């Protein structure tokens, strides 16, 4: 019962110390106020005790300076905590530019991970130490939530859209991976292990892993031809659909005038729900590919689109 017992979780990502400091900071501040109030209540309750119930308290009704003091001082302290926590939050949600991307799908009751090189894992995730990793994921059925306590990150997996978490592991080891959003019968069985490996061990693992049909990029390229995307999305922009070269990460103007960033979520939506957003200057001709392509296929296509550079050079993204 006591094996592995601890009061504090393992600190295994570059973000974890920052979040733990915030935690200890808020404990200190709130602890001070808790002790202050409890000491006052206990002291007053004992000092002013009247066992008879016959006496009357002092005729005090209030004090405006005190009210202002104990409204404003906590308010400014609260703003301080708010700003501190918001800064940490933006470190959590903003991934660095260069990340090792991994695609994932949650479905009842398992996590499936797909590496760029084509390896697929279920309920296990192998990542190298000291490298910023970004997991882009969605759900195939209900809500799930990818939670790795040792890294202090989590995000909901929502069907119909991509979510992402990023982390830079700092310690080799094995860590829990939980589903943190209730998803039905075996919700508590939707757990797995994150293996943080030395760079060399990770390379060895990559070499030994199963690669179903080549790297994501290769599979994406094959799908791009197979699904006939290439007939409309001509590289020079003369096709019925816009050119996809240099699209990833660029700003796209839509037919309603809105400007969106072409990130993974935008690409995913444009493939599956092609009518949702149309690029300015093009007609709504693209058929929907929902039901014709699975999540693995979408991820492969996205990786291929990411690799399309304006010069015509293809580079594997995020390597």
Partner 1 sequence: METIVWAEPVTYINHRHSVASWLLTYDHKRIGILYLIVVTAAFFLGGLMATLIRLELATPSGDLLSADVYNRLFTMHGVTMVFFVLVPAVPAVLGNFVMPLMIGAKDVAFPKLNLLSWYIFTIGFIFTIVSMVLGGVDTGWTFYTPYSTQGSESHVLITGIGVFITGFSSILTGLNFMVTIHRMRAPGLTWFRLPLFIWALYATSLVMVLGTPVIAITLLMLVLERGLHLGIFDPRLGGDPVLFQHLFWFYSHPAVYIMILPPMGVISEVIACFSRKNVFGYSFVAFSSLAIAVFGFLVWAHHLFVAGISPYSALIFSFLSFAVAIPSAVKTFNWTATLYEGAIWWKTPMFFVFGFLGLFLIGGLTGLFLASLGLDVHLTDTYFVVAHFHYIMVGGAIMGYFAGLHYWWPKMTGRMYNDTLGKFAALLIFVGFNLTFGPQFILGYLGMPRRYHVYPPEFQVLNVLSSAGASILAVGYVLPALYFLYSLKFGEEAGANPWKATGLEWTTQSPPLPENFRTTPVVTEGAYSYSKREMKVA
Nearer to partner 1, 33 or 237 (CB): 33
CA nearest to 227, candidates 282, 309, 314, 286:
286
Query: How remote is the C-alpha of 118 from its chain's centroid?
Result: 22
Q: What is the DSSP string of 258-296?
A: -EEE--HHHHHHHHHSTTS--BTTS-S-PPP-BTTB-HH
Q: Which of 116, 125, 136, 155 lies at the binding interface for partner 1 (CB under 8 A)? A: 155
Size of the site for partner 1 (CB under 8 A): 94
CB of residue 242 vs partner 1: minimum separation in angstroms?
A: 23
Nearer to partner 1, 90 or 238 (CB): 90
CB of residue 140 vs partner 1: minimum separation in angstroms?
A: 11
CB of residue 315 vs partner 1: minimum separation in angstroms?
A: 29
Q: End-to-end CA distance of the chain: give it in Å, rounded.
A: 44
Residue 207 sits at the vertex; the CA angle it makes with 203 and 208, to the nearest 5 degrees, is 120
Contacts to partner 1 from residues 226-245, by CB under 8 A: none
CA nearest to 254, candidates 232, 277, 270:
277
Residue 96 lies near partner 1 (rule: CB under 8 A):
no
Contacts to partner 1 from residues 283-312, by CB under 8 A: 290
Residue 273 lies near partner 1 (rule: CB under 8 A):
yes
Contacts to partner 1 from residues 17-56, by CB under 8 A: 18-19, 22-23, 26, 30, 33-34, 37-38, 40-41, 44-45, 48-56
20-44 residues labelled b (16+ CB within 10 A) or e (exposed): eebeeeeeeeeeeeeeeeeeeeeee
CB of residue 147 vs partner 1: minimum separation in angstroms?
A: 6
Q: What is the largest CA-CA distance in the chain?
A: 94
Contacts to partner 1 from residues 169-198, by CB under 8 A: 176, 178-189, 191
Q: Which of 112, 131, 161, 277 lies at the binding interface for partner 1 (CB under 8 A)? A: 161
């Amino acid at each position: 019962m006591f094996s592995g017992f601890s009061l504090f979780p393992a600190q295994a990502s570059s973000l974890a110390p920052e979040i733990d400091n915030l935690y200890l900071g808020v404990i200190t501040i709130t602890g001070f106020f808790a002790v202050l109030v409890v000491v006052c209540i206990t002291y007053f309750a004992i000092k002013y005790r009247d066992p008879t119930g016959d006496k009357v308290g002092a005729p005090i009704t209030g004090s405006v300076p005190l009210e202002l003091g104990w409204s404003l001082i906590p308010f400014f302290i609260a703003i301080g905590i708010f700003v501190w926590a918001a800064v940490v939050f933006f470190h959590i949600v903003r991934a660095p530019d260069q990340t090792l991307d991994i695609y994932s799908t949650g479905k009842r009751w398992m996590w499936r991970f797909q590496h760029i090189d084509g390896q697929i894992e279920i309920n296990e995730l192998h990542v190298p130490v000291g490298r910023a990793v970004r997991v882009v994921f969605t759900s195939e059925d209900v809500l799930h939530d990818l939670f790795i306590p040792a890294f202090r990150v989590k995000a909901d997996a929502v069907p119909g859209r991509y979510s992402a978490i990023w982390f830079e592991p700092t310690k080799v080891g094995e860590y829990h991976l939980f589903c943190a959003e209730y998803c039905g019968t075996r919700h508590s069985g939707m757990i797995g292990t994150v293996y943080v490996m030395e760079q060399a061990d990770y390379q060895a693992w990559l070499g030994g892993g199963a690669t179903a049909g080549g790297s994501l990029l290769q599979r994406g390229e094959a799908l791009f031809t197979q699904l006939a995307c290439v007939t409309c999305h001509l590289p020079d922009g003369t096709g019925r659909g816009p050119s996809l070269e240099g699209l990833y990460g660029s700003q796209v103007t839509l037919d309603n005038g809105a400007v969106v960033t072409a990130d993974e979520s935008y690409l995913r939506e444009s493939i599956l729900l092609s009518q949702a957003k149309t690029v300015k200057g093009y007609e709504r001709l693209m058929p929907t590919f929902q039901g014709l392509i699975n999540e693995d296929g979408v991820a492969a296509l996205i990786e291929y689109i990411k690799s399309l550079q304006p010069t015509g050079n293809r580079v594997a993204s995020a390597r």
